[in-house]
C-alpha cells in the first residue's frame, strides 16, 4: 500500500470537514472535503489522496458531490462516527491510565486505532467511567459533538472585544497541537479577543498571562464558545 494513512484516518479527516463548527467558517475549517483539502490535512500528496478517495468511493464509504468533494454515505458516516469515538476513548486511555500528555495522546491514538476491537473499546469506556470528552475537548459521543458544533466558533471568526472559552483544539496538526499546550491554550481557558487582523495574519488575545499574538492558522484551530 502506498498511502501512509488508513481508510479510518481518511474517514476521520472527511468527518471533520463534513461537520463545520459555527456558522461563519473562515478558511481552515468548514471547507468542502475536496481531495486537495484532505491531502493538506493528512500531509500527503494530492495524487495519493485522490487514489485513496477513489478506493473509498468503490467501497461505498463516500460519494462525490457536484464539486467532486467527498461526501460520506450512510455507511461511511456510521463508520466515521465509530472511528472518531474510538480515537477519543483511546486518547483518554493514554492520558488517564498511561500518563501520556494530551498532545502526545493524539498521535499515539492514531497509531493504535487498529489495536482495539469494538468490544475492547466498550470495556475501556466503562473502565474509564464513560468520559464525556477527549483530552482536547471533543465529545466522545458524535451526536453530542454535532449538536454542540452550532454553539461554537473558530476563534478566527470572532471580532474584537469578544469574550469566549476554549472548548476544543484542532488535532490534525501535531505541531500546532503541541504549541497550543505550550501556550496554555487548552480547553476551559477563558480568553478575550483584543485585535483581529486576518489580513496581517494576526490575532491578539488576552488570557490569564496577558496579551498574546497568535497566527490565523492557530486562531482557526481553536474552537471556542462565545460568552
What residues make contact with Zn ion under the rule CB under 5 A?
Answer: 91, 134, 136
Q: How far is the CB of 102 from Zn ion (least distance, A)?
A: 8
CB of 110 to Zn ion, least distance (A): 10
CB closer to Zn ion out of 196 and 220: 220
Closer CB to Zn ion, 179 or 192, in the complex? 179
CB closer to Zn ion, 53 vs 87: 87
Q: Residue 62 or 94: which CB sits closer to Zn ion?
A: 94
C-alpha cell at position 164: 469566549
| Shortest distance, position 210 Cβ to Zn ion, whole Å | 28
DSSP letter for 61, please: S
Q: 65 or 184: whose CB is closer to Zn ion?
A: 184
CB of 214 vs Zn ion, minimal distance in Å: 20
Question: Which residue number is nearest to Zn ion in terms of Cβ?
Answer: 134
Instruction: Please give the grid coordinates belonging to residue 181.
Output: 499546550
Q: Rounded distance, CA 208 to CA 195, Å? A: 17
To Zn ion, the closest distance from the beta carbon of 92 in angstroms equals: 8
Amino acid at each position: 500500500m502506498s498511502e501512509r494513512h488508513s481508510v479510518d484516518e481518511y474517514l476521520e479527516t472527511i468527518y471533520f470537514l463534513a461537520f463545520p463548527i459555527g456558522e461563519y467558517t473562515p478558511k481552515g475549517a468548514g471547507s468542502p472535503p475536496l481531495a486537495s483539502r484532505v491531502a493538506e490535512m493528512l500531509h500527503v500528496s494530492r495524487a495519493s489522496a485522490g487514489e485513496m478517495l477513489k478506493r473509498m468511493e468503490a467501497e461505498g464509504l463516500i460519494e462525490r458531490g457536484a464539486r467532486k468533494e467527498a461526501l460520506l454515505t450512510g455507511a461511511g458516516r456510521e463508520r466515521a462516527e465509530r472511528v472518531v469515538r474510538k480515537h477519543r476513548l483511546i486518547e483518554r486511555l493514554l492520558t488517564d491510565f498511561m500518563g501520556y500528555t494530551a498532545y502526545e495522546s493524539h498521535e499515539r491514538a492514531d497509531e493504535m486505532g487498529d489495536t482495539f476491537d469494538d468490544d475492547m473499546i466498550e470495556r475501556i469506556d466503562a473502565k474509564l467511567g464513560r468520559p464525556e470528552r477527549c483530552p482536547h475537548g471533543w465529545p466522545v459521543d458524535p451526536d453530542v459533538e454535532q449538536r454542540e458544533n452550532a454553539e461554537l466558533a473558530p476563534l478566527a471568526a470572532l471580532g474584537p472585544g469578544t469574550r469566549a472559552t476554549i472548548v476544543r483544539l484542532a488535532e490534525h496538526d501535531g505541531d500546532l497541537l503541541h504549541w497550543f499546550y505550550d501556550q496554555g491554550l487548552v480547553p476551559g481557558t477563558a480568553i478575550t479577543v483584543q485585535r483581529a487582523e486576518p489580513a496581517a495574519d494576526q490575532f491578539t488575545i488576552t488570557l490569564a498571562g496577558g496579551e498574546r499574538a497568535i497566527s490565523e492558522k492557530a486562531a482557526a484551530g481553536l474552537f471556542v464558545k462565545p460568552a
